[in-house]
Amino acid sequence: MHDLLQEMGRAIERSIEEPGKRKRLWNAEDAYQVLHTNTGTSTVEAIILDVPKIRELQLSPAAFRNMYNLKLLEFYETQEVHREWKRQRRWSVEEKQLSSFPGIKVVQSFLAWGSLKLRNVYRRVCDDKVFNEYCKVYLPGGLESLPQELRYLYWKRYPLKSLPSQYSPENLVELHLPHSQVK
């Protein structure tokens, strides 16, 4: 019953023709359209985007400028995609030449001692060609700011090394940036 009510609410919300004037954007196509065309308004309070469901998206530095009531921003990947990615991108020591990895001499020493079992090596972050099919959100000009009302930020593979300098996270309650480049 709960799922049915939730789906009815989403259908009612989608009935507003212009996606940038909706309170919640959880349909991937609608969220993509608003972010791609920079047509978000102060009405938008939540954007939930399943990144693998969209084409490549280059956000402008002012992507969130007019969405000053945005409280929830979530760029995530469905579990099915994540499991498939792990299955395809896992390498065992025997399968992959590891000479390009830093610190490999130390690893080889431990392997020689027999005290270390190195089973899987995962490569990280969007700079790597392995991740390109999952890294679809780019900020080539950076990001000038995030909305001050933002309370929840989940951005898997956030492409910048820091949050925008003009952003003051005083209302932020939860911050999740897994597999990001933030230092």
Q: What is the mean pLDDT of the chain?
A: 76
Residue 5, both tokens: 């009510």
pLDDT of residue 64: 96
pLDDT at residue 169 greater than cutoff 70: yes
At residue 88 the predicted structure's pLDDT band, cuts being 50, 70 and 90, is low
**Stretch 75-89: mean pLDDT, rounded?**
63
pLDDT of residue 118: 42
Q: 88 — phi, psi (to 5°)?
A: -75, -30
**Stretch 49-56: mean pLDDT, rounded?**
89
To the nearest 10°, report the CA torsion of 61, 66, 67, 73: -10
More confident residue, 159 or 135: 159
CA distances to 4, 30, 35, 114, 170 from 71, rounded to whole Å, are 25, 18, 16, 51, 12
Angle at 77 between CA 76 and CA 79, to 5 degrees: 130
pLDDT of residue 61: 95
Residue 91, both tokens: 């390498």
Domain residue limits, the chain:
2-77+134-176, 83-113
Report d(CA 169, CA 154) in Å as an integer.
Answer: 14
pLDDT at residue 34 greater than cutoff 90: yes
